[in-house]
């Protein structure tokens, strides 16, 4: 056995990053219940250290280094190894950065909580495990990180085991976890049989060399999709995520920022295998699209803040998986990083809902515009948004070597339209039109530039598609379905009601299985004390 380092001392930095959160987690397990303050402080400090490591690695990577460490056999085959390529450092920055924020938040938020040590134990393990998923060079390494992350989630969800809903959340996650992990490990075993303990980065070459369309390759690709969808709470694994709200807010923040998007990370890292099968990409696209429509529709019916965030995540993760299905991996990466920060912030700040409501009441009344003006405003908003996004894309896209389909720009265009319309609706003056034009152009340009810059940065490390990619036209039914919801309430009441009840009901976690008709014998078995009386109420 040999230990090989790449990128000089940066390899050590990478190893430290991987190990330190795990050590803090271990300390929490051992001494966290006796010295909660110390355990929390240690966890926060270590995750900060990990974040600084990630920053160092990012700089090194930008300078062209490739920090790597591996354990190789005498023959030079990699047994276990880690590497921080461009995609890797972006994800490491995300994982450690979000962990640092959430753990620092939790140190105050969970103060005095007798179970706080469980959080820090789980959070440390999760950070290390996710870093392992992101950096492992072997399939086995990825799968070990994957399973460890699942274990971390179980620990985190079991923070308040005395709450029945929390136990229910653990059970539901564990079910998805078992199926997803079994699928992934099955894929890993198949791959080991086919290619040996192969470097993830060179799988693409092997597949191309061996002729892509082997049934076994198809199998591996499909089980990877199953694992990804299970972790991302896409259908048919959509039941676990909504049942996790009985865990404290910081757990939700971690879950929505660093666990569910692991599905996307897996598909990106294993894209050579995943894209080798059109069946797999089609499954990913369809399940992703389904989750996107289902999640966002249910979100609209949720009256509770966190419930609404949960279903929003489900939709967003569907969008991410769908994007992967289209082979647009830069777009998927961009989405999963931005969404992680977006959602963890919204979760941590979910207690501000009442203050926001107070502000809304106290805000200056908006001026209502007449019908003619509304028509004018909406057409202006549509034209402006389309122009802004199209102009930005036209100006900036050619500068990058992105292979992502431009069809995905329909989504930012829709966002720009909504924002422009809502902004103009209340202040329909020439001045505000100019402001809107300026801001929207600036916004679209920055957005496209940011996507392009990320593409440029990670481009060399993204393996890219092996097989044929799906047609972007597949997006059109999805967009239509998403658009359809906005006109639902205009449909006849009968249809509206029926759709509403189905969607609303789908968003309600059922804690109890529906009872069968009470069988006679069980009735007869009722003990005396179970029969009436009715008295005794206060």
Partner 1 sequence: MSTLADRGDASRAQLRAEVALLASAITPAWPIHTFIATNPLSGLERMPFDEAIIAIGQTGARGVMGEQFWRSEHARGRITRADLMGAIERRIPAVNSLPAVAFGGQDVSTVDLLIDDLLLGISPSMPVCRAKTAAERVGQAVAGTVDDLTVKWVSAFVGAPTTPWAMPGSEEGFYTAWRQLAVLDPAIPPRVQRQLRRLPETEEAAVLDALDSLRVPLRHRREYMQIHLNRLPGWVAHIRWRMDNRGDFDLLGYLAMRLSYEAALIGPDVSFLIDADVVDLATGTPTGPAHRAAHLAWTFGHPLDASELDGVAGALALLPAVDRSGLWLDAYEAHYRDGLLRSLDRPGALQDASRPAAQLAFCIDTRSEGIRRHLEESGAWETFGFAGFFAVAIRYQDLAGGAPTALCPVLIRPRNDVKERPAPGTERQANRQVDRLRAIANVSDAFHAAQKNMLSSFALAEATGWLAGTVAAARTFSPRAWSTFRSRVSGRATHAAPTVLSVQEGFTFEERALFAEVALTMMGLTARFARLVVLCGHGSSTENNPFQAALDCGACGGQRGTPNARTAAAILNGTEVRTHLVRKGIDIPDDTWFIAGDHDTATDRVRLLDLHLVPGTHKDDVKALESDLLDAGARLAVERCATLPGAPKRLSTAAAARHVRTRSADWGQVYPEWGLAGNAAFVIGPRAMTHGLNLERRVFLHSYDAEIDRDGTALENILTAPMVVAQWINAQYYFSTVDPERYGAGTKTIHNVTAGIGVLSGGSGDLQSGLPWQSVRVGESLVHEPMRLLTIVEAPRERISAIIACTPLLRTLFDNGWVALTARDAPGHPWHRYTPQGWAPWFAEGDTE
CA 452 to CA 447: how far, in whole Å? 9
Residue 96's nearest CA partner among 415, 379, 360, 341 is: 341
Q: Mark residues 111-150: x for contact with partner 1 by CB under 8 A, - for none.
A: xxxx------------------------------------
3-state SS assignment for residue 199: strand
* Residue 355 binds to partner 1 (criterion: CB under 8 A): yes
Q: Which residue has the tokens 């924020």?
A: 101
CA angle at 440 for the pair 356 and 332, rounded to the nearest 5°: 80
Q: Mark residues 509-528: x for contact with partner 1 by CB under 8 A, - for none.
A: xxxxxxx-xx-x-xxx-x-x
Minimal distance, residue 269 CB to partner 1, in Å: 20
CA 183 to CA 170: how far, in whole Å? 20
* Residue 412 binds to partner 1 (criterion: CB under 8 A): yes
CA 110 to CA 114: how far, in whole Å? 9
Residue 45's nearest CA partner among 119, 134, 124 is: 124
- Which residue in the set 62, 77, 210, 358 belongs to the binding site for partner 1 (CB under 8 A)? 358
Toward partner 1, which CB reaches closer, 70 or 249?
A: 249
- Which residue in the set 63, 360, 372, 487 belongs to the binding site for partner 1 (CB under 8 A)? 360
Toward partner 1, which CB reaches closer, 82 or 293?
A: 293
* Residue count (the chain): 538
Minimal distance, residue 410 CB to partner 1, in Å: 8
- Which residue in the set 302, 328, 400, 402 belongs to the binding site for partner 1 (CB under 8 A)? 302
Toward partner 1, which CB reaches closer, 139 or 246?
A: 246
- Which residue in the set 33, 35, 197, 345 belongs to the binding site for partner 1 (CB under 8 A)? 345
- Which residue in the set 35, 202, 403, 415 belongs to the binding site for partner 1 (CB under 8 A)? 415
3-state SS assignment for residue 432: helix
Q: Which 153-182 residues touch partner 1, going by CB under 8 A? A: 160, 163, 165-166
Q: Mark residues 468-507: x for contact with partner 1 by CB under 8 A, - for none.
A: -----------x--xx-xx-xx---x--xxx-xxxxxx--
- Which residue in the set 362, 372, 430, 487 belongs to the binding site for partner 1 (CB under 8 A)? 362
Q: Which 444-473 residues touch partner 1, going by CB under 8 A? A: 447, 450
Minimal distance, residue 29 CB to partner 1, in Å: 19
Residue 317's nearest CA partner among 294, 346, 345 is: 294
Minimal distance, residue 58 CB to partner 1, in Å: 15
Q: Which residue has the tokens 């989750």?
A: 291
Toward partner 1, which CB reaches closer, 372 or 517?
A: 517
3-state SS record for 144-181 = HHHHHHHHHHHHHHCCCCCCHHHHHHHHHHHHHHHHHH
How many other β-carbons are positioned within 10 Å of the β-carbon of residue 194?
17
Q: Which 21-60 residues touch partner 1, going by CB under 8 A? A: none
* Residue 535 binds to partner 1 (criterion: CB under 8 A): yes
Interacting span for partner 1 (CB under 8 A) from 150-158, 196-204, 275-283, 410-418 = 410-418
- Which residue in the set 21, 32, 69, 105 belongs to the binding site for partner 1 (CB under 8 A)? 105
State the maximum Cα–Cα separation within the chain, in Å, rounded to a whole number.
Answer: 82
Interacting span for partner 1 (CB under 8 A) from 150-158, 171-179, 205-213, 409-417 = 409-417
How many other β-carbons are positioned within 10 Å of the β-carbon of residue 438?
11
Contact indicator for 177, 149 with CB cutoff of 8 Å? no
CA 212 to chain centre: 29
- Which residue in the set 189, 411, 464, 472 belongs to the binding site for partner 1 (CB under 8 A)? 411
CA 523 to CA 509: how far, in whole Å? 28
- Which residue in the set 35, 350, 403, 437 belongs to the binding site for partner 1 (CB under 8 A)? 350
- Which residue in the set 23, 179, 338, 441 belongs to the binding site for partner 1 (CB under 8 A)? 338
- Which residue in the set 340, 384, 433, 475 belongs to the binding site for partner 1 (CB under 8 A)? 340
Toward partner 1, which CB reaches closer, 370 or 519?
A: 519
Minimal distance, residue 225 CB to partner 1, in Å: 20
Buried b (16+ CB within 10 A) or exposed e, 161-188: eeeeebbbbbebbbebbebbbebbbbbb
CA angle at 412 for the pair 409 and 414, rounded to the nearest 5°: 105
Toward partner 1, which CB reaches closer, 473 or 514?
A: 514
The secondary structure of 17-78 as a DSSP string is HHHHHHHHHHHHHHHTTTSHHHHHHHHHHHHHHHHHHHHHHHHHHHTT---EEEEE-TTS-E
Q: Which 308-337 residues touch partner 1, going by CB under 8 A? A: 310, 312, 315-316, 319, 334-335, 337
CA 73 to CA 3: how far, in whole Å? 9
6 bridge partner residues: 68
CA 272 to CA 195: how far, in whole Å? 14
What tokens does 372 get? 């003619």
CB-count burial class (<10 Å; 0-12, 13-18, 19+) for 123: buried
83 bridge partner residues: 68
Minimal distance, residue 256 CB to partner 1, in Å: 11
Interacting span for partner 1 (CB under 8 A) from 60-68, 122-130, 271-279, 343-351 = 343-351
Minimal distance, residue 395 CB to partner 1, in Å: 18
Sheet holding 78-83, edge to edge: 2-6, 68-72, 78-83
* Residue 238 binds to partner 1 (criterion: CB under 8 A): no
* Residue 211 binds to partner 1 (criterion: CB under 8 A): no
Contact indicator for 184, 224 with CB cutoff of 8 Å? yes
Minimal distance, residue 346 CB to partner 1, in Å: 7
Q: Which 239-278 residues touch partner 1, going by CB under 8 A? A: 242-250
Minimal distance, residue 257 CB to partner 1, in Å: 9
Interacting span for partner 1 (CB under 8 A) from 14-22, 178-186, 204-212, 421-429 = 421-429
Minimal distance, residue 514 CB to partner 1, in Å: 6
């Amino acid at each position: 056995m040999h230990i090989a380092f790449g990128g000089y001392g940066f390899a050590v930095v990478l190893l430290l990053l991987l190990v330190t959160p795990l050590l803090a987690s271990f300390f929490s397990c051992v001494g966290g219940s006796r010295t909660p303050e110390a355990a929390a402080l240690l966890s926060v400090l270590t995750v900060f250290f990990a974040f600084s490591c990630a920053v160092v690695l990012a700089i090194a990577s930008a300078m062209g280094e490739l920090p790597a460490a591996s354990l190789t056999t005498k023959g030079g085959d990699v047994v276990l190894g880690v590497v921080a390529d461009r995609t890797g450092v972006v994800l490491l920055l995300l994982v450690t950065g979000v962990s640092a924020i959430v753990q620092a938040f939790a140190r105050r938020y969970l103060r005095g909580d007798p179970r706080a040590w469980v959080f820090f134990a789980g959070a440390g393990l999760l950070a290390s495990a996710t870093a392992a998923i992101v950096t492992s060079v072997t399939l086995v390494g990825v799968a070990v990180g994957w399973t460890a992350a699942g274990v971390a989630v179980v620990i985190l969800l079991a923070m308040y085991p005395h709450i029945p809903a929390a136990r229910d959340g653990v059970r539901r996650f564990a079910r998805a976890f078992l199926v997803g992990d079994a699928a992934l490990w099955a894929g890993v075993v198949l791959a080991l049989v086919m290619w040996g303990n192969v470097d993830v980065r060179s799988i693409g070459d092997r597949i191309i060399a061996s002729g892509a369309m082997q049934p076994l390759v198809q199998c591996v690709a499909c089980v990877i999709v199953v694992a990804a969808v299970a972790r991302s709470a896409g259908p048919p694994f959509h039941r676990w995520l909504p049942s996790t709200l009985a865990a404290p807010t910081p757990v939700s923040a971690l879950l929505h920022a660093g666990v569910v998007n692991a599905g996307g990370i897996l598909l990106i890292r294993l894209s050579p295998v995943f894209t080798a099968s059109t069946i797999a990409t089609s499954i990913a696209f369809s399940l992703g699209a389904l989750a996107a429509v289902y999640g966002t529709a249910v979100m609209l019916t949720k009256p509770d803040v966190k419930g609404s965030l949960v279903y929003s995540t489900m939709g967003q993760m569907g969008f991410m998986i769908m994007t992967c299905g289209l082979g647009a991996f830069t777009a998927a990466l961009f989405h999963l990083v931005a969404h992680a920060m977006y959602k963890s912030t919204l979760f941590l700040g979910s207690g501000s809902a009442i203050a926001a409501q107070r502000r809304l009441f106290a805000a200056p009344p908006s001026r209502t515009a007449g019908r003619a003006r509304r028509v004018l405003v909406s057409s202006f908003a549509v034209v402006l948004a389309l122009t802004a996004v199209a102009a930005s894309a036209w100006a900036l896209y050619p500068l990058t070597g992105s292979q992502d389909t431009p069809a995905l720009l329909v989504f930012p265009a829709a966002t720009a339209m909504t924002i422009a319309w809502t902004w103009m609706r209340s202040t329909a003056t020439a001045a505000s039109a100019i402001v809107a034009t300026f801001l929207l152009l600036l916004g679209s340009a920055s957005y496209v530039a940011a996507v392009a810059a990320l593409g440029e940065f990670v481009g060399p490390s993204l393996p890219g598609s092996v097989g044929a990619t799906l047609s972007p036209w597949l997006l059109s039914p999805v967009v239509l379905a998403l658009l359809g919801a906005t006109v639902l309430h205009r449909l006849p009441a009968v249809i509206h009601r029926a759709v509403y009840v189905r969607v609303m009901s789908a968003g309600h976690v059922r804690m109890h299985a529906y009872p069968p008709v009470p069988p006679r014998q069980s009735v007869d078995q009722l003990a005396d004390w179970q029969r009436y009386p009715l008295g005794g109420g206060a």
